[in-house]
Amino acid sequence: MINQPTPFQTSAGYGAMAVERNKVLRNTYWLLALSLVPTVLGAWLGVATGITQFLSGFLGIAVFLGGAIGFMFAIQKTKESATGVPVLLGFTFFMGLMLSRIIEATLGFKNGPELIMTAFGGTAGVFLVMASLATVIKRDLSGMGQWLFIGTIVLLVGSIVNVFVGSTAGMMAISMAVIGLFSAYMLYDIKQIIDGGETNYISATLALYLDIFNVFQSLLALLGIFGGDSE
């Protein structure tokens, strides 16, 4: 005869799972906040030295994709060890360097610092809204993943094409689509942690960092197009 779990055992099991999920979410938020430090340092170094100015066209795409894919592969390989955190922080420093080109271009506007702070505030606002929604939505959102991935591939191809076309209208359309897509990704990724679909805080931080990075960069690009004061 198979013994059925008692209500106490069942509730205790659920309680332990909830504690573990909260721990993953808490560690993810802490590491996400920490990851912004090397990002800022990387962006500052890129602006101060101009080291990324030669990265344009195909060379820029190759360096960015090569570096990002290499780092993400290393993070996935080390996420279960103590090495995972330094590798992730190294990745965010690299992303800060890659971000320095648009930061420098924005600082070329008279109101550049205000645009950067607006983009930062807007990104923080999007994150807070998505995090709040993730805590109140009871529906399983795991089915969103495949559609979000398809959307990412489409936008990646469109972005690469637009690098060579150089269309401002295309850049605007892509930037708006990226903001919408990765805002949805924030909701999806946070909900995955809350529901227990993601149990590693390093890979969870990587996912949320990429969401925030893409929203910030696209929002900054739009602000530069519509609100940049060159006078």
Residue 157: inside a domain: yes
pTM (2 d.p.) = 0.87
Q: Please write the tens of the pLDDT for every residue from 78-123.
A: 999 889 999 999 999 999 999 998 898 898 888 889 999 999 999 9
Q: Which domain holds residue 53?
A: 17-97+111-227
Range 124-128 contact pairs with CB under 8 angstroms and sequence separation of 24 or more: 126/179, 126/183, 126/186, 126/215, 127/186, 127/212, 127/215
Residues 6 or more apart from 168 whose CB is under 8 A from it? 225
For the chain, how are helix, strand and coil distributed in percent, rounded to 5? 85, 0, 15
Instruction: In whole angstroms, give the CA distance from residue 32 to residue 24.
Output: 12
Residue 2: inside a domain: no
Residue 58: inside a domain: yes
- With bands split at pLDDT 50, 70 and 90, how would you rate the model's confidence at 2? very low
Instruction: In whole angstroms, give the CA distance from residue 112 to residue 33.
Output: 24
Residue 90: inside a domain: yes
Residue 103: inside a domain: no
Residue 104: inside a domain: no
Exposed (0-12), middle (13-18) or buried (19+): which is 211, by Cβ within 10 Å? buried
Q: Closest Cα partner for 208 from 116, 135, 123, 137? A: 123
Average pLDDT of the residues in 67-73: 91
Q: Please write the tens of the pLDDT for every residue from 120-156.
A: 999 999 999 999 999 999 888 888 888 999 999 998 8
Q: Which of 134-138, 154-158, 200-204, 226-230 has the lowest mean pLDDT?
A: 226-230
The answer to whether 92 and 36 are in contact (CB under 8 A) is yes
Count of domains for the chain? 1
Residue 6: inside a domain: no
Give residue 230's pLDDT. Answer: 65
Residue 4: inside a domain: no
Average pLDDT of the residues in 60-73: 85
